Amino acid sequence: MINEFELIKQLQSLVQNQNQAVALGIGDDAAVLDPQLISAGQKIVLATDTLVAGRHFLEQDKPEDIGYKALAVNLSDMAAMAAQPKWLLMNLTLPEIEEQWLTGFKRGVGELLGQYQVELIGGDTTSGPLTIGFTVLGLSSQPKKRCSAKAGDLIVVSGELGSAAFALNNPGQNEDCDTQLKRPIPRFDISESVKDYAHAMIDVSDGLVADLGHICEASCLAAHIDLEKIPVLKAIKHDPQWRDYVLAGGDDYQLCFTLAPKDANKLPADCAVIGHMKTGDAGVSVYENGQTLDVKQSGFDHFG
Ligand code: ADP
Ligand code: MG
């Protein structure tokens, strides 16, 4: 078995040396970024997420899937801000250092680092129950906030919703859903193309009603959405719980954003208008073929 220092050396193989603003990467007491090497007008956007074995994933999950997903959900926060991810800090708590596990984990993380050209610049390693914490730093010229929705805005979601929740409840039944749960793709394609006109934006991690509810609360508005307008994989609709998966199931990591109706013609493919923002403080109202649906407003609450 290797020790902590050998492990850090192994993690250094993930470093790609592609980000010029890194004045000092892994190996010292701290990493150093040089703001002079960051283009003028760019803001630095930071997000962190922790994934705990038994809570967010199972210890017996494939290590490459664990690494991939832990980073993907973090990157999704960058997409939700319309930021480009640039630098990464990785906090690893491992029960033991198992080389085979580490190789798989590194493969999962490395896949995304390469794809989005993110530089690993540091982290921390401790022993304990398997926990992965990533801190991503990115750049955005116009970060998208939850508080920027306007009354009359259209509400848009990317992709399909409910797939990950279906897979969580019916593992192995639908390959697309299993992939959505295990290997979500952060929607930088969408955030890049809508960043000039989207108002408020959020990623759907805790369930549509809960996450859109955050936009409502932050923007002091209410939302009206029509269930039949939400894109859903046909394959999940035979499940009596499909509405719950779509409205309250988390883990899809699609984007939900608002925009002025005049900009609707600019929407890229794989986006659907599902409703509109309105004045009021009633949160999210959901309709199915014109009839109100009674839905819980809260999403997943770790302490609930
Ligand atoms: P210190 O004791 O000063 O905190 P460490 O031994 O924790 O130093 O870390 C040494 C170097 O290795 C630091 O540059 C740190 O950022 C990096 N490092 C430690 N763990 C990780 C990790 N899991 N991923 C990336 N870099 C790491
Ligand atoms: Mg340390």
Ion ligand 2 — residues with CB < 5 Å: 124
Share the mean pLDDT of the chain. 93
| Predicted confidence (pLDDT) at residue 55 exceeds the cutoff of 60 | yes
**pLDDT reading at 296 higher than 80:** no
Per 3-state DSSP, what percentage of the chain is helix, strand, and coil (rounded to 5)?
Answer: 35, 30, 35
What integer is the mean pLDDT of 3-18? 85
**Dist. CA 134–CA 25, nearest whole Å:** 16
pLDDT of residue 20: 80
Q: What percent of the chain has pLDDT over 90?
A: 84
The stretch 243-258 carries a mean pLDDT of 95
Q: Is 185 in the pocket of ligand 1 (CB under 6 A)?
A: no
Q: Best of 2, 8, 120 to mutate for ligand 1, by most ligand atoms within 8 A of CB? A: 8
pTM surpassing 0.85? Answer: yes
Is the CB of 96 inside a 6 Å radius of any atom of ligand 1? no
Assess contact for 116 and 50: CB atoms under 8 A: no
Which pLDDT score, from 0 to 100, does residue 213 have? 97
pLDDT in tens, 200-233: 999 999 999 999 999 999 999 999 999 999 999 9
Q: Distance (Å, rounded) from C-alpha 80 to C-alpha 69?
A: 16
Q: Output the pLDDT for position 294.
A: 84
Closest atom of ligand 1 relative to the 124 alpha carbon? 20
Report the percentage of the chain scoring pLDDT > 70.
97
